[in-house]
Amino acid sequence: MVAIIKTGHSISRIFSYNEQKVKEKQARCIRQNMYPLPINKLGFTLKLNRLIHQANLNTNVKRNSVHISLNFSPSDKLDDTKMKEIAATYMEKIGFEKQPYLVYRHLDAAHPHLHIVSIKVRADGSRIDMHNIGKTSSGIARQYIEKTFNLIKAEKQAKHNYKLKPVPPQIIHYGKLPIKRGIQNVLTSVLDSYRYTSLPELNAILGLYNIQADRGEEHSQTFKNKGLYYRVMDAHKKPIGPPIKASLFYNKPTLSTLEKKFKDNSQKKQNHKAQLKYTLDKTLLKSPKSLDAFEEILEKQGVTPIVRQNKQGRIYGITFVDHRSKCVFNGSHIGKGYTAIAIIDRLSPSSNESVNEREFKILNQVASPHHSKIQDLKLINALLNPESPTSYLPFHLKPQKRKKKKK
CATH code, domain with 119: 3.30.930.30
For residue 336, being part of any structural domain is answered with yes
CA distances from 216 to 38, 258, 317, 389, 406 (A): 44, 16, 21, 38, 52
For residue 347, being part of any structural domain is answered with yes
304 and 257 share one domain: no
For residue 109, being part of any structural domain is answered with yes
13 and 140 share one domain: yes
313 and 245 share one domain: no
Query: Is the confidence at residue 196, as pLDDT, over 90?
Result: yes
pLDDT 10s digits, 316-357: 899 999 999 999 999 999 999 999 989 988 886 544 444 455
Q: Strand 327-330 vs strand 315-322: parallel, antiparallel, or unpaired?
A: antiparallel
How many domains, the chain? 3
251 and 298 share one domain: no
* Whole-number pLDDT of residue 377: 46
* Whole-number pLDDT of residue 407: 57
For residue 56, being part of any structural domain is answered with yes
pTM above 0.75, yes or no: no
Bridge partners, residue 1, by sequence: none
207 and 345 share one domain: no
247 and 327 share one domain: no
Query: Is the confidence at residue 121, as pLDDT, over 90?
Result: yes
Residue 24, classed as helix, strand or coil, is: coil
Instruction: Give the rounded percent of residues in the chain with a pLDDT score beyond 90.
Output: 56
For residue 297, being part of any structural domain is answered with yes
Q: Mean pLDDT across the stretch 367-377? A: 43
CA 249 to chain centre: 15
For residue 299, being part of any structural domain is answered with yes
For residue 167, being part of any structural domain is answered with no
- Among candidate residues 98, 121, 156, the one where a domain is terminated: 156
240 and 128 share one domain: no
Mean predicted lDDT score pLDDT of the chain: 84
18 and 149 share one domain: yes
Q: What's the rounded Cα separation, in Å, for the pair 7 and 116?
A: 12
Q: Mean pLDDT across the stretch 96-118? A: 94
Q: What's the rounded Cα separation, in Å, for the pair 225 and 243?
A: 17
230 or 405, higher pLDDT? 230
Q: What's the rounded Cα separation, in Å, for the pair 349 and 360?
A: 13
Q: 105-131: b or e for each residue (b if 16 or more CB lie within 10 Å)?
A: bbeeeebbbbbbbbbbbbeeeeebebe
93 and 189 share one domain: no
For residue 172, being part of any structural domain is answered with no
- Among candidate residues 208, 243, 266, the one where a domain is terminated: 266
245 and 303 share one domain: no
* Whole-number pLDDT of residue 352: 46
Query: Is the confidence at residue 178, as pLDDT, over 90?
Result: no
78 or 170, higher pLDDT? 78
Query: Is the confidence at residue 158, as pLDDT, over 60?
Result: no
Q: Directed axis angle between helix 273-285 and helix 291-300, to 10°?
A: 130
Q: What's the rounded Cα separation, in Å, for the pair 19 and 16?
A: 5
Q: What's the angle, vertex CA 171, arms to CA 166 and CA 172, rounded to 5?
A: 105
Please count the other Cβ atoms lying within 10 Å of the Cβ belonging to residue 85: 15
Q: Mean pLDDT across the stretch 31-54? A: 95
Q: What is the largest CA-CA distance in the chain?
A: 85
* Whole-number pLDDT of residue 275: 94
Q: Is the dihedral of CA 294, 299, 305, 311 positive or negative?
A: positive
325 and 295 share one domain: yes
CA 247 to chain centre: 19
Q: What's the rounded Cα separation, in Å, for the pair 258 and 103?
A: 33
Q: What's the rounded Cα separation, in Å, for the pair 36 and 253?
A: 31
**pLDDT tier at 365 (50, 70, 90 boundaries)?**
very low
204 and 229 share one domain: yes
* Whole-number pLDDT of residue 250: 73
Domain boundaries, position 25: 2-156
**pLDDT tier at 363 (50, 70, 90 boundaries)?**
very low
Task: Region of 150 please: left (phi>0), alpha (psi -120 to 50) or beta.
Answer: left
